[in-house]
A and B are shown apart, each in its own frame.
Chain A
Amino acid sequence: GDSVTQMEGPVTLSEEAFLTINCTYTATGYPSLFWYVQYPGEGLQLLLKATKADDKGSNKGFEATYRKETTSFHLEKGSVQVSDSAVYFCALSVGNDYKLSFGAGTTVTVRA
């Protein structure tokens, strides 16, 4: 079945450090790929998405490129801030129903 594997956490960084969270997927058909973020005390919200191979999703300084050849969608940010501390989920959907399959989540803590 469709599944997502993402880097285990927790990850602790200093402000202005570079962040990478690895995500790989297995899917039948051609999935759409997503990164969702859950800030402390808040609900899940979409961070970025890519719907076809080689697309790059970007938002709030975060980027991820849909790599079909490596079945990956790694999340990157060049200079993190304390406010980026959150749990990040990689997810995919296949087909027109858009129901999501999530990775396990990666907890990121950024220290001043």
Chain B
Amino acid sequence: GAGVSQSPSNKVTEKGKDVELRCDPISGHTALYWYRQSLGQGLEFLIYFQGNSAPDKSGLPSDRFSAERTGGSVSTLTIQRTQQEDSAVYLCASSLAVEQFFGPGTRLTVL
């Protein structure tokens, strides 16, 4: 079946612009996670959605970052007023239980 998909695969933006990154989880998976993979910080948890519960936003690095999940399926991660330190690969994962299935990531470059 279809895995987790993310779009765009690459995004280049200018400092100060807003960006939206999209994640389509595996159908039926109730949990959805966003992580960030950067050279300086490794792999970091950002935010977690589980069903209709309030999201766990404890990993978001600043209030410029936000995410939503519509209808318990597709999720969008929004970064406002991007900074150069936001450059990273943003990974989405979904799961039904313990094992998380990761998407290919969106590589964000902020010039």
Contact = CB atoms under 8 A, between A and B. Distances in A.
Interface of A: 32, 42-46, 49, 51, 89, 91, 93, 97-105
A88 to B, nearest CB: 12
8 contacts: A43-B102, A44-B91, A44-B93, A45-B102, A97-B56, A100-B33, A100-B45, A100-B100
A66 to B, nearest CB: 14
A98 B100 contact: yes
B96 to A, nearest CB: 10
Contacts of A43: 4, 91, 102-105
Interface size on B, as a range, is 20 to 34
Q: Which 5 A-B pairs have the closest CB atoms?
A: A102-B43, A44-B102, A43-B104, A43-B102, A104-B42
Interface string B66-101: 000000000000000000000000010101011111
Nearest to A96: B50
Contact of A105 (B42, B97, B102, B103): B42
A98 to B, nearest CB: 6
B26 interface: no
Interface string B10-49: 0000000000000000000001010100000011110010
Contacts of B95: 98
Contacts of A49: 98-99
